[in-house]
């Protein structure tokens, strides 16, 4: 064997060893992981390590709007890309996803389909890049995996082959994690049917007992009122205090019955949804200020218990066609999230504003603003706050609250937005159009 043949044989042997090491490496990293977000993160980090890349991303296809979404990103601009979507018709990743053909570029600027907008916005140039399809062992393409800017030298054909192998492993494990998540959610749905049935049965005696208590208290207060009028109780301060207590008791029992009734209704809706019997929205003339007042009334005691000031401010607003219960749910979630994020001594503002001039969304609208001076929302959470991938930052949270708000906004052809700064607080706005009269 000649020197050249021996050298080529050595390279081939080294390449085979590297492939085996790559497969073993990602298998070891992902083995036993079933939680979806953990699988995606670990898959990308292991892939980038394999080819010595400075940064990279996993982009997964969203069939709903036919885009590729940056599901997980590693590198200097990770926070700015996470959750961002790009059309499948654009960029190198879009081409690789559509064609299934991997791409190796050691001068990205020469690629006509390169999505320059990201580099222009972030100031982080992509010089060298490998993009491979995230295709499962069964042949289903989930998205694309990109490795950007090799730390040492340039990417080589062997790197492309390695990443293709690793991406297949990663795609298969990601799909399994999705299936595991779907099975888990299915089990949760079946459990919720049983829990909902129990809750509905438990709510009935709560409402009945509260109404019975209301009648008993009212009889006592009527007797006290009669005693005052007859002169049996001459202390005016005591009579005044009883009057205030009577009003408080009325408010408390009304709140209990109202809250319990809402729980019962939501439980019914939950059971209907699981059975596939979604109730259509009930649109009727509704004032957002009235909804905000109801939410402030329900959550006022919660705010007081937490030592947080809940301030309500409303403009004179017109009726709009809306589902009042859905608006209540949206406002309730926003205020409750703000209360969770605000420490004792803080403030949560609930404001309804009316804009009569101009065009929607800047004019001819009513706007609900929920502001707080709490902990703020981290950028990596903020980017996907209203998406199906929304996550919660509080213990025991699900991330469902902001998704509910987005769904309510969409239902009413409105918009939802947020401005937040970590350590200073957040302001959420729900803007709804006012129809022309």
Ranges of each domain in the chain = 3-182, 189-274, 284-433
Q: What is the pLDDT of residue 14?
A: 46
67-74 and 284-286 beta bridge pairing: unpaired
Going by pLDDT thresholds of 50, 70 and 90, the confidence category of residue 6 is very low
pLDDT higher than 60, residue 375 = yes
| Amino acid 344: pLDDT | 93
pLDDT at 50: 79
pLDDT digits (tens, 9 = 90+) for 206-253: 778 888 888 888 888 888 777 777 776 667 777 777 778 888 888 888
Three-state DSSP state, 130: strand
CATH number of this structure's domain 3-182: 3.30.450.40
SS3 breakdown of the chain: % helix, strand, coil, rounded to 5?
55, 20, 25
For position 129, what pLDDT does the model report? 92
**pLDDT higher at 19 or 14:** 19
* Burial degree of 380 (CB within 10 A; 0-12, 13-18, 19+): middle
CA dist., res. 145 & res. 5, Å (int): 35
Question: Is residue 118 predicted with pLDDT exceeding 60?
Answer: yes
Helix (H) or strand (E) holding 424: none
Q: 2: pLDDT confidence band, cut at 50, 70 and 90?
A: very low
Q: What is the mean pLDDT of the chain?
A: 80
What's the rounded Cα separation, in Å, for the pair 39 and 42? 5
The answer to which of 22-36, 129-143, 157-171, 398-412 has the lowest mean pLDDT is 22-36
pTM: 0.54
Q: What is the pLDDT of residue 277?
A: 54
For helices 36-50 and 3-30, the axis angle rounded to 10 degrees is 160
pLDDT at 109: 82
Is 150 strand, coil or helix?
Answer: strand
| Residue 395 reports pLDDT greater than 60 | no
Three-class SS state of 391: coil
Tokens representing residue 166 in the block: 């690793």
pLDDT tens track for 271-314: 666 555 556 778 999 999 999 998 998 888 889 889 999 999 99
CA angle 142, 64, 396 (to 5 degrees): 80
Which tokens belong to 74? 């590693």
10 confidence band (pLDDT: 50, 70, 90): very low
Rounded CA-CA distance 405/114 in Å is: 35
Helix (H, G, I), strand (E, B) or coil at 62: strand
Residue in 305, 316, 404, 409 with CA at minimum distance from that of residue 356? 316
CA 45 to chain centre: 24
Are 42 and 30 in contact by the 8 Å Cβ rule? The answer is yes
Third-level CATH fold of 284-433: Heat Shock Protein 90 (3.30.565)
């Amino acid at each position: 064997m000649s020197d050249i043949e021996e050298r080529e044989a050595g390279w081939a042997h080294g390449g085979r060893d590297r492939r085996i090491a790559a497969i073993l490496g990602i298998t070891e990293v992902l083995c036993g992981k079933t939680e979806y977000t953990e699988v995606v993160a670990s898959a990308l980090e292991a892939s980038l390590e394999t080819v010595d890349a400075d940064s990279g991303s996993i982009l997964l296809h969203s069939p709903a709007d036919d885009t590729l979404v940056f599901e997980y990103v590693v590198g200097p601009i990770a926070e700015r890309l996470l959750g961002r979507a790009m059309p499948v018709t654009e960029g190198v990743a879009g081409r690789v996803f559509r064609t299934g053909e991997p791409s190796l570029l050691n001068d990205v600027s020469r690629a006509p389909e390169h999505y320059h907008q990201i580099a222009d916005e972030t100031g982080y140039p992509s010089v060298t890049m490998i993009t491979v399809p995230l295709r499962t062992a069964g042949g289903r393409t989930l998205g694309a995996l990109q490795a950007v800017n090799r730390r040492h030298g340039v990417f080589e054909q062997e790197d492309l082959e390695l990443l293709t192998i690793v991406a297949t492993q990663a795609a298969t494990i990601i799909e399994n994690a999705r299936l595991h998540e779907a099975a888990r959610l299915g089990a949760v749905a079946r459990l919720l049917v049983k829990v909902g049935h129990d809750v509905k049965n438990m709510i009935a005696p709560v409402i009945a007992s509260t109404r019975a208590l209301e009648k008993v208290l009212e009889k006592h207060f009527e007797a006290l009122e009669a005693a005052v009028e007859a002169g049996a109780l001459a202390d005016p301060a005591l009579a005044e205090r009883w009057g205030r207590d009577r009003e408080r008791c009325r408010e408390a029992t009304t709140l209990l019955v109202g809250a319990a009734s809402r729980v019962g209704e939501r439980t019914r809706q939950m059971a209907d949804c699981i059975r596939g019997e979604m109730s259509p929205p009930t649109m009727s003339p509704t004032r957002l200020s009235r909804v905000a007042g109801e939410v402030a009334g329900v959550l006022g005691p919660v705010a007081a218990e937490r030592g947080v000031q809940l301030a309500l401010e409303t403009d004179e607003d017109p009726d709009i066609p809306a589902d009042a219960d859905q608006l209540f749910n949206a406002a309730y979630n926003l205020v409750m999230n703000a209360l969770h994020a605000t420490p004792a001594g803080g403030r949560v503002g609930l404001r309804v504003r009316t804009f009569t001039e101009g065009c929607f969304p800047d004019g001819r609208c009513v706007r609900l603003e929920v502001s707080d001076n709490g902990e703020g929302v981290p950028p990596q959470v903020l980017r996907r706050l209203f998406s199906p991938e929304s996550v919660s930052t509080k213990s025991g949270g699900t991330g469902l609250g902001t998704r509910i708000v987005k769904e309510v906004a969409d239902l009413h052809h409105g918009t939802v937005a947020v401005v937040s700064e970590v350590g200073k607080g957040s302001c959420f706005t729900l803007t709804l159009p006012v129809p022309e009269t």
